[in-house]
A and B are shown apart, each in its own frame.
Chain A
Amino acid sequence: MGRKLTFEIFRYAPLDPLSKPHMQTFVLEEHPSMTLFIALNMIRETQDATLQFDFCCRAGICGSCGMVINGRPGLACHTQTIDLPDHISLHPLPVFKLLGDLSVDTGTWFRNVGKKIESWIHTSKAFDPAAQEDRMDNDLATKIFELDRCIECGCCVAACGTARMREDFMGATAINRMARFYIDPRDNRTPADFYDLIGDDNGVFGCMGLLACDSVCPKKLPLHDQLGIMRRMVSVESVRGILPEFIRKKLAGSCGCHSKA
C-alpha cells in the first residue's frame, strides 16, 4: 500500500460567476513511479471532472504543465510524488492570466514577448534553393542550440520577484532568447538594435539578480549568465556618447560581447 497523498489544489473559474477562489482537498493513494501528471489525471477522471490543468507531451519537452508545486514553480509532468511530502499544494503559475484552476495562458504571454523582442533571424539574405547551406562552426551551433533549449514553460517568470511586481518585465526567458540571436551570425542585428529592444527596466535592466529563475528552470539553462552577458552588452551600449569611446570599447571587449560590436 502506498502513502495517502493529500492534494490541496487552487480552484477558480474566472468566467463562472458562481465560482470563488478557494483551495480544494483531494486524497489519492500513491503508486510507484507516480508523477503529478498521473495524479492530476486520476483526480480528474475519478474524483472531480471539473478540474482544469494543462498537459501535452507529459515528457518535460513542451512546457505546458508549469505550476506552483509546494510554493515553487516547476513542471508537473516530471515531478514525482515520491519526492514530495504527504501534503502537496498546487497553485497556478502567477504573472500569467488565469484561465481556470491550474491552467494559465502562457501562449499569449510568450507570443507578445516574442513580437516585442522580434524573436527571429534578421537577415537581408534571401534563401537560394540551389545553393549549399552557409557553413557554421559546430561548437557555435551547439552553443546556439543550448540557448534554444528553453521550452517557454514560464517557471522562470513565475519565480521572478520583478515579474511578480512589475507586469511588463519580460523575464529571463526573453533575455535568454535575445542572447540566442545575439550569438547567431545569421542575425544581422547590432548591439544598438538589441539595446533598443531590451535596454530598459522592462527588459534586461529590470532584472534584480534574484537568481530564482536559474534555480527553478526545469531545463537547467544558465539563464542568469545570459542575463549578465546581455546586461553588460546593453549597458556598454547605453553609455555611448557619455563614456569616452576607448573606455567603452574596452568594457565591451572585456565582456566577450564584441562579436557584433
Chain B
Amino acid sequence: MTPRSPASIRSRLDFWQAASGACLALFVLVHLILEGSVVLSPTITDGIGWFLEATYAAQIAAPCIVALILFHFWIAARKFPLRSGELGIFIDHAKALKDPDTWLWLVQVVTAVVILAGAFFHVYTVMTDMPITVQGASQRLHNGWLLFHAVFLPSVILHTGIGIWRLAVKYGFCVKAQRDKWRKCIYIGMGCYLLLGVLALTRVWFQI
C-alpha cells in the first residue's frame, strides 16, 4: 500500500461545504419563519426585530452570515462549470438525459450566483436602514425592492431546498428506498416556504 499522504486542505473542502451549507440552510429556515410572523401580526415581527437589535444579535449575525455565504460560495465554486466548454457540455448532457436531478444542479448554480449578489444588497440595505421594522420594509418594497424580492426569495428557497436534498443524498441520509418520500417532503417544504414568503411580502406591501 502507498504510504499515507498528509491530509490536504482540498480533501476537507467537501466537509466544510456541507457544514457551511447546513448552517446557512438552518439560518434561512429560521429567518423566513421569523419574517413570516408578519402574516400573523406586524407587531410580533417588530418585537422580534427589536429584540435581535437590542441584543446586538442582528448586527453581529448579519456580517457573519455574509461571510459564511462567501465562504460557502468560495468552496462550492470549485464545482462550477467555469472551465472552457464545461457549461455547454453540461447543458447538452442535461438536455439529452432528461433527468430532473441533473437539471436541478444547474438551478443550484444559477441561484447561487443570484444569492451571492442579492444577499450583499439585502444585508446592506437592512443594516443601513436600522431599526428593523415592518414599516421600513414596506417602504423599501414600494421603493422598487419588490422586484428584487420576487427574484431573491424564490432563489433562496430553491437553493436551500435543493441544497438540503443534495446534502441528504450525497451523505447517504436519504437512501434509495426513501428517496421518493424525501423528494416529496422537500418539494412540499419549498412550496410552504414560498407561500409563506409571498404572504409575508403581501402583508408588508399593504402595511403602509
Q: Do chains A and B touch in the complex (CB under 8 A)?
A: yes
Do residues B97 and A228 form an inter-chain contact, with CB atoms below 8 A?
no
Residue among B1, B14, B78 facing the most chain A CB atoms (10 A cut-off): B14
Stretch at the interface among A10-18, A59-67, A105-113, A201-209: A201-209
Docked complex Cα distance between A232 and B167 (Å): 11
A to B CB contacts below 8 Å, 10 in the list: A68-B96, A72-B97, A94-B93, A196-B5, A205-B14, A212-B101, A228-B174, A231-B171, A240-B7, A255-B171
Query: Does B79 lie at the interface of the complex (its beta carbon under 8 Å from any beta carbon of A)?
Result: yes
List the B residue with the shortest CB-CB distance to A197.
Answer: B2
Residues of A within 8 A of B172 (CB): 225, 227-229, 231-232, 255
Q: Which residues 206-247 in A have Cβ within 8 Å of B in the complex?
A: 207-212, 214-215, 222, 224-225, 227-229, 231-232, 235, 238-242
Residue among A165, A189, A199 facing the most chain B CB atoms (10 A cut-off): A165
Do residues B169 and A211 form an inter-chain contact, with CB atoms below 8 A?
yes
Interface class of chain B by DSSP? helix
The 8 A CB mask of A67-85 against B (1 = contact, 0 = none) is: 0100110000000000000
A220 to chain B, nearest CB (A): 10
A77 to chain B, nearest CB (A): 21
Do residues A209 and B15 form an inter-chain contact, with CB atoms below 8 A?
no
Query: Does A164 lie at the interface of the complex (its beta carbon under 8 Å from any beta carbon of B)?
Result: yes
Docked complex Cα distance between A196 and B95 (Å): 35
Contact A235 B169, CB 8 Å, known A72-B98, A225-B176: no
List the A residue with the shortest CB-CB distance to B78.
Answer: A201
Q: Which residues 143-173 in A have Cβ within 8 Å of B in the complex?
A: 159, 161-162, 164-165
Residues of B within 8 A of A242 (CB): 12
The 8 A CB mask of A2-31 against B (1 = contact, 0 = none) is: 000000000000000000000000000000
Docked complex Cα distance between A90 and B172 (Å): 34
Residues of A within 8 A of B120 (CB): none
Docked complex Cα distance between A211 and B201 (Å): 35
Do residues A193 and B1 form an inter-chain contact, with CB atoms below 8 A?
yes
Q: Which residues 92-129 in B have Cβ within 8 Å of A in the complex?
A: 93-99, 101-102, 104-105
Count residues on chain B whose CB falls below 8 Å from chain A CBs: 42
Do residues A192 and B4 form an inter-chain contact, with CB atoms below 8 A?
yes
Query: Does B81 lie at the interface of the complex (its beta carbon under 8 Å from any beta carbon of A)?
Result: yes
Docked complex Cα distance between A159 and B98 (Å): 10
Do residues B15 and A224 form an inter-chain contact, with CB atoms below 8 A?
no
Do residues B97 and A165 form an inter-chain contact, with CB atoms below 8 A?
no
Contact A215 B169, CB 8 Å, known A122-B1, A193-B4, A239-B12: no
Do residues B171 and A232 form an inter-chain contact, with CB atoms below 8 A?
yes
Contact A205 B11, CB 8 Å, known A164-B89, A164-B93: yes
Residues of B within 8 A of A207 (CB): 170
Query: Does B166 lie at the interface of the complex (its beta carbon under 8 Å from any beta carbon of A)?
Result: yes
A175 to chain B, nearest CB (A): 11
List the A residue with the shortest CB-CB distance to B82.
Answer: A165
Query: Does A200 lie at the interface of the complex (its beta carbon under 8 Å from any beta carbon of B)?
Result: yes
Contact A71 B98, CB 8 Å, known A228-B173, A235-B171: yes
Contact A199 B99, CB 8 Å, known A192-B4, A208-B166, A231-B172: no
Residues of B within 8 A of A235 (CB): 14-15, 18, 171
